[in-house]
Amino acid sequence: MCSFFDFREPAIPIFRCICPWQNWGQAFANSNGTTITTGAPASIVMVSSDNQSGLVGTNDFTISIPQNGLITFNWNYTTLDGPSWDYPMYLLNGVATMLNGYSTLGSSTQSGSQTCIPVTQGQVFGFRMYSVDNVAGAATTTFSGFTFITSQVTITPASPSVCPGQTIALMATGGANILWSGGITNGVPFTPTAPAVYTVTSGSGACITASTVFVNYFAPIAISGPSTNLCANISNTLNVIGSTSYTWNTGLANAPLVITPTANVTFTASGTSTNGCFSTVIKSFTVDPGLPNVGAVSTNSANGACPGASVAVNGTGALSYSWSGGISNGVAFTPSITNSYTVTGTNACGSATAAITVSVHPIPPVTASATQPSVCTGNTVALLGGGAQTYTWSNAIPNGSPFFPSSTNSYSVIGTSALGCTATAVVTVTVEVTPILAPLATPSLICIGGSGTITATGANNYTWMPGNLNTGTIIITPTITTTYTLTKANSNCVDVKTITVFVNQLPNVFAISSSSVVCAGSSATLS
């Protein structure tokens, strides 16, 4: 016998032939085309019709699909009279589809791949050679690289159910590259904790199929009754749900348990659920001895906040809390005025209250000053903050420490109060330049009766002595060597310089003759 689909392997040739091609069928419509199977299972060759009829002709090669899957194959095409007259197709339930990548406007030699054609059990799949005119030569197509990936992965167990604590292994067979959702591994036991749907995928690349299985989880028995907080000496009833056959750790069986605890306590029930699963459930209770001892605390210092800042308040000593004033326990809010808030704390025994005052701390009246608001170059000044507890100056200048300012500048200080509130102040320090340039005399040496100038620069005010002149440049006509004193000032920054102008006396010139009377033609000497 012959098997052309072998589903025992994950991805295998479509055509696995060990005998004649009796499972495949051929059909002809106005065609003398042929199918050559000598290369099977690696390939088959189909030749189109060329019966010279001038009419459309088709020859098909088909098989019935035994189960769901994905079909992939390669194709190589050649023609004698052009790709628009004879072309290859694949068939699915009688519907012919042009091969992926084939073009009737392309060359006479083409090739490509057809990947992941989905097929289901009972459908008829196959190949077709289509001839438009049946003249001018036939076309040949080689189909090869056949693979079939089954989409009918078998999952065992098919409909699993597990009890609490029970392990299960999900096994998927019949596919390739098996991958499960939910972090489980194919065939590896795991312990479910809730009902869940698990998805298994099979295949690779574009040929991926998916199947699902529902794992039913039978819930364990449970204890119903009061919450985990109880009031001492108050009776409560515990019930077991999900079972009619159970035993309490007290020895009581198949009946509700009435408890009147005086201290923290734990109860255990063991039994078989209605689904036949045995499980044990534990429930612990915190027992409150009486009404809560409620307190109230603030998350900020001194139970308050600076203007615009937020604060949160928390109740203590109870199980739950509600606050007056529209605030919530532990949730930050921004108070606008100092106010008192009341918290009601509740436990299993009842409620009690406590109060807290949330203050809006004052802003410190921060001031900024300098030991000298105006200072001459080369002198020091200190910056002083006031009205707060600590101070932080711009430019990292320590509060009250002298420094040398290089130019006129404004300095800001952030003052922080003992309650952590801050404010800012600014002071300006003016730096006046001390005029230290010396005056210049032109010329520095004067003959008696002559004049010169003395020029000074770099100041706003000048005073010359002698003369008590108030200008930067003076004209001098000294009769003797004279020292001038210049006082230069920029605001309060004063500098005194002296300059000496030397005066030379005029020469006392006279003439001497060797003879006061000479005869004509005689000589005399003058000096």
Q: Which of 72, 6, 69, 4 is nearest to 41 (CA)?
A: 4
Mean per-residue pLDDT of the chain = 89
pLDDT of residue 467: 82
User: Largest Cα–Cα distance of the chain, in whole Å?
Assistant: 179
For residue 124, give the amino acid letter: V
Per-residue pLDDT band at 129 (split at 50, 70, 90) = very high
Query: Cα angle at 32 between 27 and 33, to 5 degrees?
Result: 70
CA distance 217 to 234: 37
pLDDT higher than threshold 80 for residue 150 = no
Contact 405, 381 (CB under 8 A): yes
> Per-residue pLDDT for 79 more than 60?
yes
pLDDT, one tens digit per residue, over 288-305 is 999 999 999 998 767 788
Characterize 235-252 residue by residue with b for buried, 16 or more Cβ atoms within 10 angstroms of its Cβ, and e for exposed.
ebebebebbeebbbeeee
* Residues pairing with 296 in the sheet: 315
- The per-residue pLDDT for 22 is 55
Q: Who's near 209: CB < 8 A, 6+ residues apart?
A: 70, 149, 150, 151, 153, 175, 201, 202, 203
pLDDT tens readout for residues 406-428 = 889 999 999 999 888 999 999 99
Cα–Cα dist 22/27, whole Å:
14
Confidence of residue 126 (pLDDT cuts 50, 70, 90): very high
Specify the pLDDT at position 317: 93
DSSP label at residue 301: G
Residue 19: its pLDDT value, please? 30
Three-state DSSP at 400 gives coil
Mean pLDDT of 420-443: 90
